[in-house]
Structure 1
Amino acid sequence: MPELPYAKRLSPEVAARVLPKIAAAYNDGNSIRIIAARTGRSYGFTHRLLSECPDVTLRGRGGDNRTRTKKRAT
């Protein structure tokens, strides 16, 4: 995974060169946060880059998404 300069604009050429590697890492199961940490960029930058990529379908958020059941009065 290439380490990118933080808080500097990337030229379209650099972004086009890096995007397939980032997309492949995401499609292999890595999270956006892990990819952001490895590249040295922010979560938002990485998310935006992946959302603009036609080869990537973003996964839903993880974690516990069950609703709490209410106790019935007996």
Structure 2
Amino acid sequence: MADTVKKGARVTGDDRSRLAGELQEKYASGTSIRALAEETGRSYGFVHRILSESGTQLRGRGGATRGRATGA
């Protein structure tokens, strides 16, 4: 995938659709947006936009939450 998309080049038409499909598959299998961005040499925002445009249901943010746990 990364070989077909040159960094900074516009991705339109069939190439964009193909890239979106590949990104969707990898994202659905658990790869993070940040990892996909690094793999493709594109920005986080570009990958996020492609996934959003293609109708992908994005996961919530991970990591630690702020504040104390309730119910202690």
- Output the amino acid matched with 1:68: R
User: Unmatched 5+ residue regions in structure 1?
Assistant: 70-74
Q: Identify unmatched segments of 5+ residues in structure 2.
A: none
Looking at structure 1, the residues matched to 29 and 41 of structure 2 have their Cα atoms a distance apart, in angstroms, of 19
Identity of aligned residues (%): 42
Q: Distance in 1 between matches of 2:37 and 2:66?
A: 28
Quote the Cα distance in structure 1 between the aligned partners of 2:41 and 2:6.
7
TM-score (norm 2): 0.84
Taking the aligned partners of 2:66 and 2:11, their CA distance within structure 1 comes to 40
TM-score by length of 1: 0.82
Equivalent residue pairs, number: 67
Counterpart of 2:41 in structure 1 is: 40
The one-letter code of the counterpart of 1:22 is L
User: Following superposition, which runs of at least 4 residues in structure 1 exceed 2 angstroms of deviation?
Assistant: none
**Counterpart for residue 58 of structure 2:** 58
Aligned-CA RMSD value: 1.3
